[in-house]
Structure formats: structure tokens, C-alpha cells
Structure 1
Amino acid sequence: MTDHRVIMRLLVQGRSYNEIVASENCSRRSISTVNKVLASCGITTLDQIKEVTDQQLHGWFPDGRSKKSEQYEQPDFEAVHKSMKHDRNFTLQQAWQGYVLREGEQRKYGYSKFCALFAQHVASNDLSATIHHEPGRTMQVDWAGQTLTVTDTLTGQLSKAYLFAAVLPYSGMLFARASLTMNLAAWIDLHVRAVEYFSGVPQIIIPDNAKTATYRPQRKDPQRLLNDRYSQFATHYGTAIVPARVKSPRDKGSIERAVRTANHRIIGRLSHEVWTTIQELNEAIEVQVEEINDLKNPYGISKREIFTTEEASCLGKLPDQRFTQVTWKQLKVGRNYHVSCDYQNYSAPYRLAGQTLRIRLTDMRVTLFAGEEIVCEHTRKYGRKGQYSTLGEHVPPAHQNIANLWSRTWFLDRAQAYGPATSEVITRILDRYEIEAQGYLSCQNILDSLGKKGKARLEAACQQVLNTAALPSYTTLKRVLATITSDQHAPPVPRAAGNTVKPELSEMPQLTEHVFVRGSDYYQEGF
């Protein structure tokens, strides 16, 4: 705004038009108008300028905008400021909605002009600044402080599920989803899901200064930089990431309120139920999020209605391709023809067992490379650790017939690899039960647990049990196996003992007539 009093002083001091334009950033026309007023009023000294009142200045240099502003009803910004100080949930949007709904013949300011006038009121009265939001400009993100629990039905293991929240401050539209980890991969994946939920990209994303998003180039350096992958995400979606200032919660006040709402209406409602998978939990969270976005404020308007009518069109367009995180690893194929990656197992052709392959990991796929050639692809697994993804063509022929798993044939086929004594023990155990399946667990324990001590030792223990006619069982074999300290220390193969009973004369074989037998006189002395 042109300060006519300052221009008057500069003209009286003899400054040129160019100097005044450069100093006050005003037009030459404004300077010429002031110069004409000085000439007509006979003002030539600084003392005369000091005696000029503001009312006289307003009469000499009328502002056309003041007449136009008289057509609008002026908001009560003092009352708005007091409401914001006493109610932390009170926003400028609510104040503007109340201003518009008031009865009166005068025109009402739009929301953007209302915010600009409030900012002028704050600046002119030296009040604490309040951040106002523009539609589609920012999205604030953060982790909720509280967690949920996922219980594995197979192992009974309890895992923490961390709640991620994203909010558009203008409309208050909320997105929330749970994750089993808080690492960078999960952080970016949840960002991708958030912008897809809003069907658009904001101009700015505001996280806090968590280690997931930023890092310090040097220790104790106050400057924090974005992680490379986080920056790649921002570039892909054409947005800017501006972390909130340290210890400045007002910079992300909207997400703080959204997290508080999520803690009350999502975690508070779902924490008392048992969730067996993260997918099941996220389905329940989606229902709660929809209810939150459909809640109506005191003016009868929901977050979704504000978002649909005013903000959705202001968001940027989503790119044609979804952002995909790519990670490369080199892993060795194990003896079970699987590679272990991020606690999950993926099969490779059994002929590659023992070789090192290159692994490409994305959010959805796991690709195995032998050199530059693609060996196979798997759908990436998440959730419970230790899961297996096995393709049928990767299984060796000896393992392909799985129809007889945990059957008499299956156990006997395995026992043959140890020896005949082991096969006999397994047979006797299975024959001992009326319901054959009741002996499967004993057979499994013998072959898996005791078999780890060596095939020769288990075979020797089974032979000893058979020699003593003891009842074959896991406990008996374990006790016998404890006495066999090595593969060489094994009981000898039993042999039939010699007969010590003298046969009867009738049982002795009869000599034939052609057999020559010496008489007793042959053995007398002197001959």
C-alpha cells in the first residue's frame, strides 16, 4: 500500500522520481499525484508535513477500496481470536461458516478473503499467528502414539500394529491404516495408499522430523535432510515434503487432532477385540475411517462433503503408474531350494541349490535372477514370519508326490533311508494302534528328532530295541540312543550261539564200509 506521507517527505527533500520509485516501490503516477497536492497546498517544508493529519491525507488521496469494503459485512475477528484461544479445536473454517450463516443484507467475504483479513488483524494487533489452510495445499502425516495387537492363531505370538494417519487440513478428511512395522518401506507404502484414497496429490506433505523421514548429515547437526527414497516418492508424485519445525506442534496441528480422533474412535473401539491378521484389522479400520469422515459438524456438514465439493478438485492428478520401491539383494539358495528374504521363504529351481542369486524386491513381487536371466517371480509375502511360497516346478521329483504325506506309506518310505531295523520299528508302532493315525506323531518324532543324531546311530538303536524285544517307542529309543556315543559305537549284529548238548548215539551219523578207521593197537608204544 502506498505511503503518501513518506512520498511527500522525499519530494520536499529533493529526491528524484527514480529514487522514490526504487525506495518505496510505488508508481510514478502516485508520485506525480503527491507532487501536485504539495504544489496546490503550498507545502514546502518537513514541519508542514508533520502538521498534516491522517484525515487530511485520506481526503487528498482517497482509497477506492474502502468504498467497496463498505458493501461487505465486517467479521468480528476479536471474537474469532478468543474462540481459538479457548477452544483448540476451533478453526478458521468454522468461524467463516458462522460468519456466512449470520443474517444481514450486506455481502459476505469468501473463505480466502476472510483468512487474509484475519491474518492482517493478527499482524496489526500483534497476536499469535494462526495457520489457515487452503484446499488441496497440504497433507499432514504421522504415526499414532498408541498401538493395536495382532495374534497369530498358529503360534499364539502377539505382534504390535502401528497406526498411520494422514489428514487434509482444509476439509479434515482422514486416512488411517495399520502396519506391523514402522520402517521406511511401510512409511512410503502408507503414503502411496493415502494419496490413492484421496484420489489426488497435495502440493505439500508435512511429516514430523522422525528418523523414518529425515536424517542428520552429521551428528548433532540441527539440519535434517530427507531420505533418498522418500525424496524419490515426492518426485514421482510431483509434491514437496516440508517437515515440521522441531518442537513446533502448531505446524502440524491438524494431524495432532486427527491422531487424537484416531486414538479415540479407532484404537479405543478396536483394541478390545482379537485380530488374527493385519488384513482383518485394516478392514475394520476402514469401516471406522468412513464413519469419521461422514460425521457432521455443528453446521450439518461432514468432512467428506467439504472434501468432495471444495477440495477434491484442487488436488493434483495421480501419476499413471504407482510408485514402487525397489530393493536388490544377493542371497544363496538353501538346501531346501528356497531363499530366505525378510523372514519369508521363496522357492527356486532345485538344481540351483547352493548358488547365489540376485533378488529384486518390490512392494508386490519378488523376482529371482541368475545373472541377467529371470529365474522366477513370486508374490511378496507379509505378516507372520517364516511363510513359504513354493512353485510346483521347483520341487525335485522325490518331493513332488505329497498326496501321501503323514500316511503309513510316507513314514515307511522315510524309514527305509535309515535301514531295515528302523523300518521294522516304524511298522510295529503303526500296527500297535487300532487307529493308525494315532501313531503318526511318534513316528514323526523318531524320524525327525532322533534322526538328527545320525542315520547309523538311529538304525543301531532300533536294532538293539528289536534284539531285546522291548516295546518300540520314542522314549525307549531315546534312552537307548543316549548310550550310543558315536556311529562306530553300535551293538554287534546278533549271531546264533553254538549247541553245547552232546547228541545221542542214535543221532550220530553212520559210517560207510569204505571208510578206513585205525584200531587201538595203532596207538600202542613200541610200534
Structure 2
Amino acid sequence: MANTLDPMDLKQIITLHLDGYSNRKIGTSLSISRNTVNTYIRLFKGSDYTFKELLSLDTAGLETLFSSHTTITNERYDALMRYFEGMNKARDHPGFTFLYHYDEYARSAKQAYGYTQFMEHYRRKYAKIKGSMKLEHDPGKELFIDYAGKKLHIVDKQTGEVVPVEVFVAILPNSQYTYVEACKSQKREDLIGSCENALRFYGGVPKAIVSDNLKAAVTRSSKYEAQINRSFKDFARHHNCVINPARGYSPQDKALVENAVHLAYQRIYYPLREMTFFSLEDLNLEMKRLLKHYNNLLFKRKEASRLELFQSVEREYLKPLPTTRYELKEYRRAKVQKIGYVYFSPDKNYYSVPYRYIGKETGIHYTKSSVEVYYNHQRIALHPRNPSKGAYTTNKEHLSSTHKFYSDWSPEFFKNKAIPHGSHVAACVGQIIAGVDYPEIGYKRAMGVIQLHRSYGSQRLDNACKRALQADAVSYKRIQNILKNNLDQSSLFFQDLEEDEPHIPEHQNIRGASNYK
């Protein structure tokens, strides 16, 4: 026998035999020659023990029963196996070749095997059994997507430059109904746009989209748990499906779309080889015509076309499309300012959020038409996007009661607030607001004047404002002093303000200004 077996190997053979494995399958599972397994099975059957009794024996008992078959004394073979053990440690080293190691082995061995036998024994010892499983595809379950390796080209009319373009391919594996389009690049926005167009072409949504490990689709690739790009994941959420990237270096996971790419070379690329296109629209128009013919070709074995199989079987399993097309989302982060707004850096403007989130770090999700603000994955604000630089977009529901009051401040607002207290109050308020360059300062002073009615009443406030206007002394502080010192009620003060003549009488002992030159 070619292989060296110990009692533990024998117990494994017995266990697998009792489990119903064939001799060939036992040999494959344990990497033992089928002939060796056949020999031992015959010996087991010819012994005085049943298989279960043999399995219950200890190691020493089995070695005693089958000692002549547990080891081999072949120095030549043993030397080769020892050499393989050292050689195999360098198997993954760059530049490794079997021929190099065979030459080394042949120089050192007393009775070397030939190169063919050398390789045969190595493959037996380190057999790698790989199989390819035929995948069954349920209708409407998956959509495979990929980009063709070879690019098409369009010509720039202005410069004559030949511009390469990518070719996106999608296929429903059950019916093999195929979609192909040309696009500018493999970037995220182009990938999502092509996927959107493919789903519109099919008129429905599968349960999962199986993509390659493209940078636009996968942020971090992994054989078992890939990290999906955030925008692509949001696209899937919008369409009520999931993204399932194929395993890296496992093209068999999406063999049908790989085959569809090759068929696209034959059915679409080749007929376009002598045509010149000056825009993506023209190229896609011609590709659409060729694609229609391709999907109508009959399968020889199924006696139906891809389109017929899609219409009769797969279409009814697709989920309905959302009512609106997906808008690509971008993401930013921003802290809520003390005034209750977040700064939106792409447009350099501001959007309000509820005042209780002041000081919190938020995430901003935005599209061409809207801006959403999130805190701890909960949306706290939604605004139509405002492209104006420096603009403040406000939802009054977000403001506190104080902020809401302040947000209504304007010259008209203060005029309306002042009129109930008298015309002179309204005149003072208007003059105060008009007399400052920064409106908010004037608003605060005007509000201070109006609030004086709480302490002194509207009548006295109106009188005080009248005297301030006559004295050309309109300010919050002066009006407050008139009221505080009761000057609005002093008849002498009123008379002095109303008379143009000085209150000091003419007298001969009074010297004029000439005496002071």
C-alpha cells in the first residue's frame, strides 16, 4: 500500500464506512488511495469482528490485528515524503517552482524518483479537491451586475478626441434577460444611475443586487462580510432590496454575468466595431437596438428567448418599483450653532433645526433638491435645498418661543406694537430704528421704549415721547430719564420746551457775549 496508515486512520475508515460512505468517498475524504481503502475494508470484513466491535477496540488492539498493514518500510518513499514536508513550507514563496526543488531533490537522494513520479506523489500527498457547484437561480431573487473589461469609445466633436466609456451589464439569472448601457465611468454616481436605469428597464426590483467588489459599490471588501458604500446601500433601501457583493476572487459566484459580458462582446461590440459615435446618447440608442435583438434570440435547449422567459416566468416575481426615482445622496457633518442652525458647507448657507439640539453634532444628508439633518440616526429636520450663499432657511416650528418672537422683528412689527400706546411713541420708535446702521440694535432699543408702558402706562409714555421729539432727544435712555424724573408731568418743563424765548428776563446788569471776548 502506498500510504502509511496508523490505527487512528483505520478507525476513521471504519467510522465513514458505518456512516454509509463508499470506498471512493472515504478515500477522497481522508486523502487515502481508493485501493488502500478497498484493501482494508476486505481485511475488516474477513476478520472475526464486526465493524462496530473493531471501532470499540483500542489503538493497541487494532495495531495487533492489522500490524502487517499499518506501516510500510520503504526508505526511498520515506525520504521523498520528508523532502516534501520541507519543500511545501516554501510553497507560497515568490519564485517557487517544482522543477527547482526536483533538481535539488535529485542531487541529494540516493535513488531519486523521476520528475513525473515526483509530481504524482506530491499531488497525492497534498491533494486539493476543488469543485464547482451548479447554482440554481430562483426567479426574481437576484440581479447580477458588472462592467465589461473592454471599453467602447465616443469622439468629441469639438476636439476630435477619442473618449473611452465604460459598459455596464446587468442580468436576471433565471431568465438571463440582459441589460447593457454605456456610461462615463465606474464612479458611484454612474454605477447608481446605471442600476436605476436597469431596474426601470426590467420594470421591477429583485430581492438582491449582486455586484462585483467595485470601489463604487464596496467600501471595504471581504470574503464574508463586505462593507457596502453608504450611497449604494441607501439606493437599495429606496428600492426595498439588498446589496450582496460577490466574494473576492470568486467569479463563479456571478458566472452568468461574466458570460453575459462575453456575449455582449459578440452581439453588441462586434456590430459596433466600424461605427463612430459623438455622444453617449447616440451610442446607447444603437446599443438598445442591438440589445433588443439579442434578448429575442432563442435558446436552443429551452426553445424560448430571454424576453419570453422573463415575461412568462420571472417578471411576476419582481417587486414593484418605487414611485419616485432615486436621488443620489451626499453626506456632511455639522455642529448645531447657538442660534439653532447648522452650517451647510457645500452651499455656504444655514438650515434650522429644533432648538433642543443646540451644541449637538449632527449628520447632513443632501440631494439636489433637499437637505436632511440627522441626530443619532433620527431625522430632526428636512428642508428644500436653497442654493443662495449666506441664506438662512428657517422652519419656525424649530424655534423656541423666544426665538419665534425675535424672528418676527421688523420695522413694521415695531410700528404696529407702538401705535396702541400713542402716535408719539410710534414716531419715536420709527426714528430710533431709522437712526442706526444695524437693524437689530434699533429693534432692541425700540422694544425697550415700548416696554416702558408697563411701568409708567401708555399715556405717560406718549407724553414723554412727545417731549423727547420736541427736544430732539429721542433715545431709550432719555425717554426713560424723562419718565423717571417725572419731567413728562412738569408744567415748567413743558412751558420751557414749548416757548422759543429764553426763560431768563432781560436786565441791564446782565452782560452780553461781547464782554467775554
Q: TM-score, normalised by structure 2?
A: 0.40
